[in-house]
């Protein structure tokens, strides 16, 4: 199936190597209806496709947005697009964060770096129906203060009285005048003070970060079936046919990218699988 053309309505620089593309369908066709956690394949004419998580509000299908980090040829080209450029969109693909099951309980979101992007739609949904949930906390780690995404959202979320938000950076140069915490995101976990019996944790970030986050959560007594993570693998077709994204018996493009931790716990411990 071929990509659908979308215009870049706006491109916002998040950090020196990350930008958020806001896309709207060419020809006014309907937007993309997606569930938080899903991704699209973004296509640049003649160059190729990359899988990028959707980071916009799921309640606004016409306000589709993707936060892209420039790590290769296509993502670098995506970050350099101007307003009006046309991007092909194929999707949405993949499994979603288990939002329906979270109602009535506490939710802790642990995000590292660009891992906040696929979790942003979750926060949009949770905060839009705030009464359905107990405590909500966001623990967010990044490399340096300059690498923090969604500065406006962070400021807005900090201004709410019904949500806890803790941010830590790995390193802060004195010039950054950072008044927040310095340390890895796992050090924020004790800060969240959550009730393990009521809490579900959603986490996304670099593999190492997720592994140590989960380790810290398990040691605090959180049950393995209350942790969800979002994985990534090389993808070409995004529809479970090319074989590239296999992770054990699962295809990350359709059985993931969101997985419940206990279902893949042993596989995660095998190196190079």
Partner 1 sequence: MAGLESPMATRLTMDGLRALFEALRRRGFRLVGPTVQDGAIVYGELQSPADLPVGWTDEQDGGTYRLKRRDDQALFGYAVGPHSWKKFLFPPATRLWQARRTENGGFAFQEETEAPPRFAFIGVRSCELHAIAVQDRVFLQGKHVDPTYQARREQAFIVAVNCGQAGGTCFCVSMKTGPKAVFGFDLALTEILEGGRHQFVVEVGSARGAEVLREIPHEAAAAEDLAAAQRAVDRAAGQMGRTMDTTDIKELLYRNYEHPRWDQVAARCLTCANCTMVCPTCFCSTVEDTADLTGEHAERWRRWDSCFTMDFSYLHGGNVRSSAKSRYRQWMTHKLATWIDQFGTSGCVGCGRCITWCPVGIDITEELRAIRASESPAPSAHAQEAKDADT
Partner 2 sequence: MQTLEAVLADHPFFRGLPPEDLRLIAGCGSNVPFQAGEYMFREGDPSDRFYLIRHGRVALEVASPERGRMTIATLGAGDLLGWSWLVPPYTKRSDARAIDLTRTTAFDGACIRRKCETDPRLGYELLKRFAQIIGERLHATRLQLLDVYGTRE
Given the rule CB under 8 A, which residues bind partner 1?
2-3, 5, 26, 43, 45-49, 71-72, 84-86, 88, 95, 98, 101, 232-234, 236-237, 239-244, 246-251, 254-255, 259-260, 262-264, 266-267, 269-273
What crossing angle do the helices spanning 120-128 and 151-158 adopt, rounded to 10°?
30
User: Any idea which residue has 């800060």 for tokens?
Assistant: 191
Q: For residues 121, 43, 244 and 97, what is the CA-based torsion angle, rounded to 10 degrees?
A: 10
Cβ atoms of 33 and 89 closer than 8 Å = no
Q: How far apart are CA 155 and CA 132, in angstroms?
A: 23
Q: How far apart are CA 4 and CA 183, in angstroms?
A: 42
Q: Is residue 191 involved in binding partner 2 (CB under 8 A)?
A: yes
- Spatial CA neighbour of 23 closest among 80, 70, 89, 117: 89
Largest pairwise CA distance in the chain:
52
Q: Is residue 14 involved in binding partner 2 (CB under 8 A)?
A: no
The correct pick among 205, 214, 230, 231 for binding partner 2 (CB under 8 A) is 205
Which CB atom, from 82 or from 269, has the smaller least distance to partner 2?
Answer: 269
Q: Which stretch binds partner 2 (CB under 8 A): 27-35, 79-87, 107-115, 132-140?
A: 107-115
DSSP reduced 3-state for 147: helix
> CB 141 → partner 2: shortest distance, Å?
8
Q: Residue 190: which of partner 1, partner 2, none does it interact with, CB under 5 to 8 A by kind?
A: partner 2
How many residues bind partner 2 (CB under 8 A)? The answer is: 32
Q: How far apart are CA 46 and CA 259, in angstroms?
A: 33
Q: Residues near 235 by Cβ (< 8 Å), separated by ≥ 6?
A: 41, 51, 242, 244, 245, 252, 253
Q: Is residue 173 involved in binding partner 2 (CB under 8 A)?
A: yes
Q: Residue 163: which of partner 1, partner 2, none does it interact with, CB under 5 to 8 A by kind?
A: none
Which run of H or E residues covers position 126? helix 120-128
Q: Residue 263: which of partner 1, partner 2, none does it interact with, CB under 5 to 8 A by kind?
A: partner 1
Q: Is residue 145 involved in binding partner 2 (CB under 8 A)?
A: no
Q: Is residue 22 involved in binding partner 2 (CB under 8 A)?
A: no
> CB 174 → partner 1: shortest distance, Å?
29
Q: How far apart are CA 118 and CA 139, in angstroms?
A: 14
Q: Is residue 245 involved in binding partner 2 (CB under 8 A)?
A: no
Q: Is residue 246 involved in binding partner 2 (CB under 8 A)?
A: no
> CB 111 → partner 1: shortest distance, Å?
18
User: Any idea which residue has 């350099």 for tokens?
Assistant: 80
Which run of H or E residues covers position 138? strand 136-142
> CB 119 → partner 2: shortest distance, Å?
15
> CB 219 → partner 2: shortest distance, Å?
10
Q: Is residue 126 involved in binding partner 2 (CB under 8 A)?
A: no
Q: How far apart are CA 44 and CA 54, in angstroms?
A: 17
- Judged by the rule CB under 8 A, the positions of this chain that interact with partner 2 are 17, 69, 71, 112-114, 141-143, 147, 168, 170-174, 178-184, 186-187, 190-191, 205-206, 208-209, 212
């Amino acid at each position: 199936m071929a990509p659908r053309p979308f215009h870049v309505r706006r491109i916002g620089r998040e950090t020196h190597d990350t930008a958020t593309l806001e896309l709207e369908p060419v020809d006014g066709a309907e937007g993309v209806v997606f569930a938080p956690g899903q991704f699209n394949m973004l296509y640049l004419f003649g160059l190729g496709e990359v899988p990028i998580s959707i980071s916009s509000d799921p309640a606004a299908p016409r306000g589709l947005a993707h936060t892209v980090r420039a790590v290769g040829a296509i993502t670098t080209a995506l970050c350099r697009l101007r307003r009006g450029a046309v991007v092909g969109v194929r999707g949405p693909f993949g499994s979603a964060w288990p939002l329906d099951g979270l109602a009535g309980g506490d939710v802790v979101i642990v995000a590292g770096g660009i891992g906040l992007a696929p979790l942003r739609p979750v926060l949009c949904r949770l905060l839009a129906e705030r009464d359905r949930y107990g405590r909500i906390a966001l623990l967010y780690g990044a490399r340096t203060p300059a690498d923090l995404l969604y500065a406006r959202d962070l400021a807005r979320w900090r201004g709410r009285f019904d949500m806890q938000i803790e941010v830590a950076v790995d390193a802060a140069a004195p010039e950054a005048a950072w008044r927040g915490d310095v340390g890895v995101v796992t050090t924020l976990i004790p800060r969240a003070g959550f009730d393990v019996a009521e809490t579900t944790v959603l986490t996304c970030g670099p593999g190492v970060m997720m592994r140590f986050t989960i380790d810290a959560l398990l040691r605090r007594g959180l049950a393995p079936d209350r942790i969800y993570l979002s994985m990534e693998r090389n993808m070409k077709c995004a529809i479970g046919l090319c074989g590239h994204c296999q992770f054990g018996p699962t295809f990350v493009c359709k059985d993931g990218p969101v997985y419940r931790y206990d279902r893949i716990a042993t596989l995660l411990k095998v190196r190079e699988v």
